[in-house]
Amino acid sequence: MSEKKKVLITFLGNINYDTRCNNLFDSFTSKGYDVDFIGFDWLTENFASVKGKKTVYKLSKKSLSIFFYLKFYSLLKLKVLSKKFDIIFAEDLYCLPVCIIAGKIKGAKVIYDCRELFGFLAGLKNKKLIQRFWSTIEKLFIRKADLILTTGEMDSEFIRRRYNLHNDLVIRNLPLYKKSDSPVDYYSLLGIDKSKKVLLYQGVVLHGRGLKMIFEFLQTSDDFVLVILGSGEMLSYYKNLSNKMGLDNKVFFIGKIPQEKLLDYTAGAFAGLSLIENVSMSYYYALPNKLFEYIMAEIPVITTDLPQMKKIIEEFEVGFTIPEGKINELINVLSKLSTDKNLYFQLKLNCRKASQTLNWGDEVEKLIIKI
């Protein structure tokens, strides 16, 4: 019997909180591959390194960024070169240089998951030197990858134009097909009055995600509360902002939820929000996994009218899009959802139908076949 092909997935993040890495790991394992994961966590409080098939190392970001990345690269290089693999995934730009070098040494196929336009991240908008550095790194190494994954057709079009490449494949950030048997009861969990409707923000807490506008909306309404599932480097900022705006009883920060529990938390909400702002090219092309997770959980979705999100909302009729920063539009949409029960339940039904198409099972088959 032939030996199993070995796959190594690398990521500057924690697989336990990353849907895409988790799904890749499980899908390749189920197809008979021998899969290992190497990741890094610097955000989870009191996190301790975990070793095994899914290895996650603890990093500290208390020191300057340059020392953080030097520690990351030295550890990644050491661990990757100690592994045997036939295929190696760089699940972000930060892992790509090490994966390219290791792939050459090991004679392995390198797959670069360009899940963001890393040279155009919103967080680097005012850090031109750092932005230029990462753009240069991508330019130097992307052509050496055997296959480049993107999360949307517009991302692929951009990559093809920018680098004159044609070895790309769109693998959207879709969730596994699964339904919640026990949605979280936020009213009991958080002591919320049952007259309030629970809005959900799910994902990394960063600037440019519409949180300030949502807070401003909550100041005008006593009918809604906001639950934030996620963490990030701007978490403290938004906790302080919520407090300053007098929203302690309207905004609830729950933190990161492990993948196996996330669907139940998502399904407990009234509606899901993805109000990403057009502050960078990466955000303009956004097609985040939270959008599809809301759909899988069968809760109506409200997004900004950025092109790739708008296309999904309109094609599958699962919610509404609003112009960026237009708080009155958000008020109008939430009023419709709250008062028109027929509309609300039709959107939930549309989500159920859409989830039969928008799921990881069919999506990952494109990658399995390609490899």
CATH number at residue 343: 3.40.50.2000
Q: What is the DSSP string of 301-333?
A: EEEE--HHHHHHHHHHT-EEEE-TT-HHHHHHH
Report how far residue 38's alpha carbon sits from residue 90's, in angstroms, rounded to the nearest whole number.
10
54: helix, coil or strand? strand
Report how far residue 122's alpha carbon sits from residue 142's, in angstroms, rounded to the nearest whole number.
21
136 shares its domain with 21? yes
216 shares its domain with 310? yes
User: What is the arrangement of strands in the sheet containing 319-322, beginning at the earlier edge strand?
Assistant: 251-255, 224-229, 197-202, 271-274, 301-304, 319-322
For the chain, report the end-to-end CA distance as a whole number of angstroms: 21
| Residue ranges making up the domain that contains 328 | 186-357
Amino acid 332: pLDDT: 97
76 shares its domain with 216? no
190 shares its domain with 148? no
Print pLDDT tens along the chain (371 aa). 468 999 999 999 999 889 999 999 999 999 999 999 999 988 777 677 777 899 999 988 765 578 888 999 999 999 999 999 999 999 999 999 999 999 999 999 999 999 987 766 656 666 678 778 888 999 999 999 999 999 999 999 999 999 999 999 999 999 999 999 999 999 999 999 999 999 999 999 999 999 999 999 999 999 999 999 999 889 999 999 999 999 999 999 999 998 899 999 999 999 999 999 998 888 999 999 999 999 999 999 999 999 999 999 999 999 999 999 999 999 999 999 999 999 999 999 999 999 999 999 989 999 999 98
Asked if the structure places residue 1 within a domain, the reply is no
Give the number of C-alpha atoms closer than 13 A to the C-alpha of residue 357, restricted to the C-beta side.
8
157 shares its domain with 203? no
Amino acid 1: pLDDT: 41
Label the pairing between strands 168-170 and 34-41. Answer: unpaired
Asked if the structure places residue 219 within a domain, the reply is yes
131 shares its domain with 199? no
Asked if the structure places residue 78 within a domain, the reply is yes
190 shares its domain with 233? yes
Asked if the structure places residue 181 within a domain, the reply is no
- Say which DSSP state 294 is in: H
193 shares its domain with 302? yes
364 shares its domain with 349? no
Burial class (CB in 10 A: 0-12, 13-18, 19+), 104: exposed
72 shares its domain with 112? yes
Token digits for 318?
A: 């699962």
In the block, tokens 């020392």 appear at: 67
Give the number of C-alpha atoms closer than 13 A to the C-alpha of residue 137, restricted to the C-beta side.
21
Amino acid 31: pLDDT: 95
Asked if the structure places residue 105 within a domain, the reply is yes
61 shares its domain with 129? yes
Amino acid 64: pLDDT: 57
Q: How many structural domains does the chain have? A: 2
Asked if the structure places residue 30 within a domain, the reply is yes
16 shares its domain with 159? yes
| Inter-CA distances, 170 with 76, 156, 279, Å | 27, 7, 23
Token digits for 245?
A: 């705006």
Amino acid 52: pLDDT: 85
